[in-house]
Amino acid sequence: MIKNGFHFYGRKITVFLALLAFLLPTSIVRAKDSNYMISAANPLAAEAGRKILEKGGSAVDAAIATQLVLTLVEPQSSGIGGGAFLVHFNKASKKVQTYDGREMAPAAVKEDHFLKNDGKPLKFYEAVVGGRAVGAPGALAMLKKAHDAHGKLPWNMLFEDAITLSEKGFKISPRLHFLLNRDKFLKTKEPARSYFYTKEGEAKKAGTVLKNPELAETLSRIRDGGIAAFYTEEIASRIIQAVQNDPTNPGNLTEADLANYVAKERAPVCASYHENMVCGMGPPTSGGVTALQILRLLEKAKLSETKPGSLDAIHLISQASALAFADRGMYLADRDFVDVPVKGLLDTGYLEGRARQITKGNVTLPFEAGTPPKTSGLLSPDDAIELPSTSHFSIVDSDGNAVSMTTSVENVFGSRLMAGGFILNNQLTDFSFRPKTEKGLVANRIQAGKRPRSSMNPMIILGPDNTLKAVIGSPGGSRIIGYVTKTVIGILDWNLSMQDAINLPHHINRNGTLDLEKETAITAQKEKLEGLGYNVKVRTLNSGLHGILIRNGILEGGADPRREGVVLSN
């Protein structure tokens, strides 16, 4: 059948939707006659992006419209009060560029920011809720930088859907209602309590029309005045007031911190895998380097001869992931502050040596970090906690250009503070709470002006002829790396469709416990994996993979059935 310009193929499948505990059907999506496509985590946001593509806008133009609507309809995950990473492919030049919109720590911050008076670290939610955890938001500055380089439509044309929806309202989705109902902290903070909850403190029900005139005003100011309206004018003042005047956990973000924020274009990190080139973001995110390490460690493992979800496949991927995560915890951080040995971590000789630790027999975890070439200084592994509240969308425009963008406020509903109608991030808790141990300084310790390490992993895959092959990414905290890597393996090793690769059951090993996705076929491998030495936990693994695959000139989209996203095209 055809729906919204798509051709749907294959049998209908049903999967467990994490967080909501209800069943959601999905289907493989191919757009034979399409010349543009978007896969995003919310139907309203995806439609906003599709409209921009329909008007002849670029992938970056569509990304801006999509993010603005996500600010409204998916406030638990991302928004203009947070940060993002964007990977861009230019078809004409066959060039991959990456843009860093990660939040920055305030200039007044000290390395003991998350330590109590006795030197012990705060508990996670003691740090998260309130102004202490808010960094200078970077998403808007990054999108403006990308738009200056790759935009086709005027900036002010990209705000229409977000402003209209903010004024007229949108229906609260079942997923948003579930998260509002579950959260213990949002209702303790105004204006979030009045906006999301009834007078009795109950989460507004799914289907309730939620209007946000304050966000409409904010977006109108940014539409007309550019990002200066956000970083240096009235909106900036509202952000600082919310952060500094929080009654229980005030922060030290200032208007100068906002005015001094700079989005950066950074060199992509790329590595070959089975004659394809896989490209992602480098530091301050760990996502690109760690995912590429996993793939390179597995290149000679003959995964194509294994079956997805088999004991052999899980065993091989788990060991490669554990080795890469050992290096991640030791070395990866903001390279503007720390000498991150990116080339050394991806060095062929180094990875060949690390790969010799991968065995078909029993394993003992955790692995120790390796010593890549040109490593300097004594470092200590960090203790940063990254929880899954993020969003991702993938876009291909009519010119064949692409965007892979992952965007986040960090924890669910971020700091729980609102200003100007949007949620403020808590990204500073992605730093290690302890700045050092007896082994040395932690690379990802908090410092003034520094960007916290991330696991966001937007990726673009180029084929052997350097043409666009796939666009992929996911939310999911530090498990993002595993979700995305699994999908890349599904595409490149097992020749799956984008949707089938996304649907594969998750198994994640971050150099410790091996997580198997609850209510999937791979849970049958639990006892055998325990027999190999793994500590296995069966749990809900709530990814939000959204991707596009190009095969034989056909755009083929996939949206993660574990969330509420869709694929749209012309």
Cis ω for the linkage preceding 308 (within 30 of 0): no
Contact 69, 48 (CB under 8 A): yes
16 closest CA partner among 480, 522, 553: 522
What residue numbers bound the domain in which 399 lies?
2-169+211-259+392-452+544-569
CA distance 269 to 271: 7
Q: DSSP readout, 437-492?
A: ETTEEETTB--TT----B----EEEE-TTS-EEEEE----GGGHHHHHHHHHHHHH
Amino acid identity of residue 128, one-letter, is: V
Question: CA 75, 510, 486 angle in degrees (round to 5)?
Answer: 75
- Cite the active site residues: 390
Q: E strands, 91-181, where?
A: 95-101, 170-171
- Give residue 374's pLDDT: 75
Q: Is residue 177 part of a domain?
A: no
Dist. CA 294–CA 319, nearest whole Å:
9
Does 371 reside within a domain?
no
Question: What per-residue confidence (pLDDT) applies to 262?
Answer: 98
Separation CA 77–CA 175 (nearest Å): 11
Pairing outcome for strands 95-101 and 170-171:
unpaired
d(CA 418, CA 242): 7
Q: In what order do the strands lie in the sheet with 440-442?
A: 379-380, 440-442, 436-437
Q: What is the pTM of this model?
A: 0.93
In angstroms, the first-to-last Cα distance of the chain is 15
Tokens 């100011």 correspond to: 221
pLDDT of residue 17: 35
Closest of 20, 114, 144, 15 to residue 76, by C-alpha = 20
> Would you give per-residue pLDDT tens digits along the chain (570 residues)?
223 333 222 222 223 333 333 333 344 455 555 699 999 999 999 999 999 999 999 999 999 999 999 999 999 999 999 999 999 999 999 999 999 999 999 999 999 999 999 999 999 999 999 999 999 999 999 999 999 999 999 999 999 999 999 999 999 999 999 999 999 999 999 999 999 999 999 999 999 999 999 999 999 999 999 999 999 999 999 999 999 999 999 999 999 999 999 999 999 999 999 999 999 999 999 999 999 999 999 999 999 999 999 999 999 999 999 999 999 999 999 999 999 999 999 999 999 999 999 999 999 999 999 999 977 654 556 655 555 579 999 999 999 999 999 999 999 999 999 999 999 999 999 999 999 988 889 999 999 999 999 999 999 999 999 999 999 999 999 999 999 999 999 999 999 999 999 999 999 999 999 999 999 999 999 999 999 999 999 999 999 999 999 999 999 999 999 999 999 999
* Count of structural domains within the chain: 1
Say if CB 554 and CB 562 are below 8 A apart.
no
Q: Is 517 strand, coil or helix?
A: strand
Q: Which residues of 391-428 are buried (b: 16+ CB within 10 A; e: fewer)?
A: bbbbbbbbebbbbbbbbbbbbbbbbbbbbbbbbbbbbb
Is the residue at 303 inside a domain?
Answer: no
| 377 domain residue, yes or no | no
CA dihedral sign of residues 412, 414, 415, 421? negative
Q: In 10 A of CB 527, how many CB atoms?
A: 9
Element (H, E) at 393: strand 390-396
User: What does DSSP say about strands 514-517 and 536-539: parallel, antiparallel, or unpaired?
Assistant: parallel
Q: Which of 395, 315, 390, 339 is nearest to 64 (CA)?
A: 395
- Asked if 105 contacts 120 with a C-beta cutoff of 8 angstroms, the reply is no
| Residue 352 within a domain | no
Which residue shows structure tokens 């439509």? Answer: 153
Distances (CA, A) of 398 to 395, 497, 569: 10, 21, 10
Helices (H) and strands (E) in the chain, counts: 18, 26
DSSP secondary-structure letter at 187? G
The token duo for 492 is 């490149």
Residue 216, domain member (yes or no): yes
The crossing angle, in degrees rounded to 10, of helices 43-54 and 59-73 is: 150
pLDDT at 439: 84
Residue 313: inside a domain, yes or no? no
Separation between Cα atoms, residue 366 and residue 32, nearest integer Å:
46
H or E element at residue 557: strand 554-559
Whose CA is closest to 81, among 2, 119, 24, 138?
138
Predicted pLDDT at 205: 98
**Whether the Cβ atoms of residue 545 and residue 484 lie closer than 8 Å to each other:** yes
Range list of β-strands (E), 321-458:
379-380, 390-396, 402-408, 418-419, 422-423, 436-437, 440-442
341: preceding bond cis by omega (within 30 degrees): no
Asked whether the beta carbons of 449 and 428 are under 8 A apart, the reply is: no
Assign residue 179 a region: left if phi > 0, alpha if psi is -120 to 50, beta otherwise? alpha
DSSP-based three-state secondary structure for 329: helix
Query: Quick one: pLDDT at residue 389?
Result: 75
With tokens 């029309």, the residue in question is: 209
Q: Is residue 238 part of a domain?
A: yes
Rounded CA-CA distance 70/54 in Å is: 19
User: What are the backbone angles phi and psi of residue 362, rounded to the nearest 5°?
Assistant: -70, 155
> CA nearest 235: which of 258, 212, 263?
258
